Amino acid sequence: VEAGSLCLALLLPVVAGLEFSYHHSEQLETFLKEVHQQHPSITALRSIGRSVAGRDLWVLVVGRFPTQHTIGIPEFKYIANMHGDETVGRELLLHLIDFLVTNDQSDPVVTRLINSTRIHIMPSMNPDGFEATTVHDCYYSEGRFNKNGEDLNRNFPDVFNSNNVTIQPETQAVINWIQNETFVLSANLHGGALVASYTFDNGNPATGFLQGYSRSRDDDVFIHLARTYSSNHASMYKGNECGNKPVFPYGITNGYAWYQLKGGMQDYNYIWGQCFEITLELSCCKYPPASQLQAFWNDNKAALIEYIKQVHLGVKGQVLDRHGQPIPNVIVEAKGREHICPYRTNRHGEYYLLLLPGSYVLNATAPGSGSILKTLLVPNSPENFSALKYDFVFPEVSTLARDASCPIKPLYQDFESISAAVKPTLHFLALMTVLYTVFK
């Protein structure tokens, strides 16, 4: 019933009359303020910062508890238009907002999404670049960059190489936003190709880049996330819709396998934000005519909804002491999937781990208090709009360090040097084992 209702709702035209046209900054701001005014109980609107030219970076939050984080409710985000001349995502997110708020309490899937998820939507990360794009070109314009001429998707700290760039106001605003929320899943919307691209965008031998693919510990989850979007898109899954681009099997690609990128936003999210993010290239033409926007919405709306549901993959819960009080900064990870910057509980003692269905051993480690291991069978939880819930309880807890965050530096350089230092020792041990066997 729910799936059928969503399909019916997806086929209906947008009521409320949001036009399929390009909305400039003033129009975008007016629309967001009107939505919040008309739906104050399920929306919150705020600016997370300002662009170089002083334009607000607006975020509209949709959820049953929109104004603040609620324990057990995962945080999700969409960001569009970080390249100012890649414009389709900007308009898709305005129509997604309209679709969500107008279908709450009438469409069961949308209603359950709003009940179970706090959805953050930023239609434009680079409003200056959008306003600077006067020629609507399919391939390139100066509007790609911010007002300082910087590419915002090369402007984040990088986990593999030192990124000697000046952090821009738009980038810093997003970094602060990521650090202040408990984001679990995200996507950033681009244009110029039709493919879902996933971590890592950069790499070194530790991630296998010598084989042309930079693999994270959660590669299976990222492939699932990318295929979820491409398979629910009208044509992305075909993989060959843009004649001037490579063929992408199933409409997905590892970022590094496509082209190497330093300082990208999705890698930053995964390493330092504890948030899985993919990059969605949604149009062969970066800035297509406005007359095509309705077709883009029809092609993407089912995928946009289905992707949000994936925030409920895996396991979530709290780490508590014997008095039921939350413990922050506890490392909680699945064995075999340890992150180079360990994933830790937030100030509410919460953890969220995106995992595909299967059996996993979770390891909760509180410094000075030991570890607790728990084997869990993870179901296909997005269909239930809730990850499997499991709370860890530590009988005794030492005082934890206040600042347990990872340093903002190329962490994989250290990992690579440690690995290189260990290899001669391993080779020596292997040789001794062989000699011992022979002589014996």
Decide if pLDDT at 5 tops 60.
no
The answer to whether residue 419 sits within a structural domain is: no
Q: Is the pLDDT of residue 419 over 70?
A: no
Is 427 among the domain residues?
no
Same domain, 300 and 380: no
Tally the domains of the chain. Answer: 2
Q: Mean of the pLDDT values across residues 209-236?
A: 96
Q: Which of 282, 312, 342 is at the close of a domain? A: 312
Residues 296 and 357 placed together within one structural domain of the fold: no
pLDDT in tens, 150-160: 999 999 999 99
pLDDT of residue 123: 98
Per-residue pLDDT, 400: 55
Six-digit token pair at 123?
A: 């239609």
137-141, 148-152, 302-306, 349-353: which range is least confident on average? 137-141
Whole-number average pLDDT of the chain: 91
pLDDT in tens, 52-98: 999 999 999 999 999 999 999 999 999 999 999 999 999 999 999 99
User: Residue range 277-304: average pLDDT?
Assistant: 97
Question: Per the domain annotation, does 5 fall within a domain?
Answer: no
Average pLDDT over residues 183-199: 98
Q: Are residues 156 and 83 in the same domain?
A: yes
Residues 386 and 258 in one domain: no
* Residue 405: inside a domain: no
And the tokens for 298? 């029809």
pLDDT single digits (tens) 234-251: 999 999 999 877 899 999
Averaged over 156-181, what is the pLDDT? Answer: 97
Q: What confidence category does residue 415 fall into, taking pLDDT thresholds of 50, 70 and 90?
A: low
User: 102 lies in which domain range?
Assistant: 25-312
Lowest mean pLDDT among 174-178, 188-192, 353-357, 426-430: 426-430
Task: Identify whether residues 214 and 342 lie together within a single domain.
Answer: no
Q: Which of 4-8, 151-155, 305-309, 427-431 has the lowest mean pLDDT?
A: 427-431
Q: Which of 75, 281, 333, 350 is catalytic?
A: 281
How far is 277 from 186, CA to CA, in rounded Å? 4
pLDDT of amino acid 17? 73
Structural domain includes residue 7: no
pTM as predicted: 0.91
429 versus 230: the higher-pLDDT residue is: 230
Run of H or E including 317 = strand 315-321
Kindly state whether residues 293 and 155 are assigned to the same domain.
yes
Q: Is 281 a catalytic residue?
A: yes
Domain termination residue (choose one: 312, 328, 344)? 312
Mean pLDDT score, 297-310: 98
The pLDDT of residue 300 is above 50:
yes
Residues 324 and 376 in one domain: yes
Tell me the CATH number at 111: 3.40.630.10
**Banded model confidence at residue 6, pLDDT cuts 50, 70, 90:** low
* CATH number of the structural domain spanning residue 382: 2.60.40.1120
* Residue 294 covered by a domain: yes
Same domain, 255 and 145: yes
Same domain, 165 and 196: yes
Structural domain contains residue 289 = yes
pLDDT at 14 over 50: no
Residues 122 and 103 reside in one and the same domain: yes
Residues 270 and 256 in one domain: yes
Q: Is residue 416 part of a domain?
A: no
Assess whether 50 and 163 both reside in one domain.
yes
**Which residue, 127, 68, 322, 286, is CA-closest to 193?**
286
